[in-house]
Structure 1
Amino acid sequence: MTTTNLPPAAAPGAILETALYVDDLDAATTFYEGLLGLEAFQTVPGRHVFFRIGAAVLLVFNPDATGTPSQNPRLPVPPHGARGPGHLCFAMPRQQIDAMRARLIAAGIAVETEFDWPNGAHSLYVRDPADNSVEFAEPWLWE
Structure 2
Amino acid sequence: MATPPLLGTLESALYADDLDAAIGFWQDVMGLDCFQHNEGRHAFFRVSNAPRPQVLLVFRAAVTQQPPAADARLPVPPHGATGPGHFCLAVAPDRLDEWRGHLEKAGVTIEADFLWPNGARSIYFRDPAGNSIELADPSIWAG
How does the TM-score come out when normalised to structure 1?
A: 0.91
Query: Match of 1:18?
Result: 12
How big is the shift at 1:69? 1.5
Aligned length in residues = 137
What is the DSSP-based 3-state SS (H/G/I as helix, E as strand, rest coil) of the residue aligned with 2:110? Answer: coil
Q: Distance in 1 between matches of 2:56 and 2:137?
A: 19
Q: Distance in 2 between matches of 1:102 and 1:137?
A: 15
Q: Superposition pairs for residues 1-143 of structure 1, below 5 Å?
A: 7-54=1-48, 55-71=53-69, 73-143=72-142
- Contiguous gaps of at least 5 residues in structure 1: 1-6
Q: Deviations over 1:7-39 (max 9, x none)?
A: 433242311101000010011111111100001
Q: Distance in 1 between matches of 2:115 and 2:3?
A: 37
What is the DSSP-based 3-state SS (H/G/I as helix, E as strand, rest coil) of the residue aligned with 1:80? Answer: coil
How big is the shift at 1:100? 1.3
Query: Match of 1:4?
Result: none
Q: Distance in 2 between matches of 1:50 and 1:29?
A: 9
Deviates more, 1:121-130 or 1:95-104: 95-104
Identity %: 50
Q: Distance in 2 between matches of 1:85 and 1:48?
A: 17
How big is the shift at 1:123? 0.3
Q: Distance in 2 between matches of 1:22 and 1:96?
A: 28
Q: Deviations over 1:52-95 (max 9, x none)?
A: 11121100000011011223522010011000000000000123
Q: Distance in 1 between matches of 2:115 and 2:105?
A: 23
Q: Distance in 1 between matches of 2:72 and 2:84?
A: 31
Q: Distance in 2 between matches of 1:18 and 1:39?
A: 15
How does the TM-score come out when normalised to structure 2?
A: 0.91
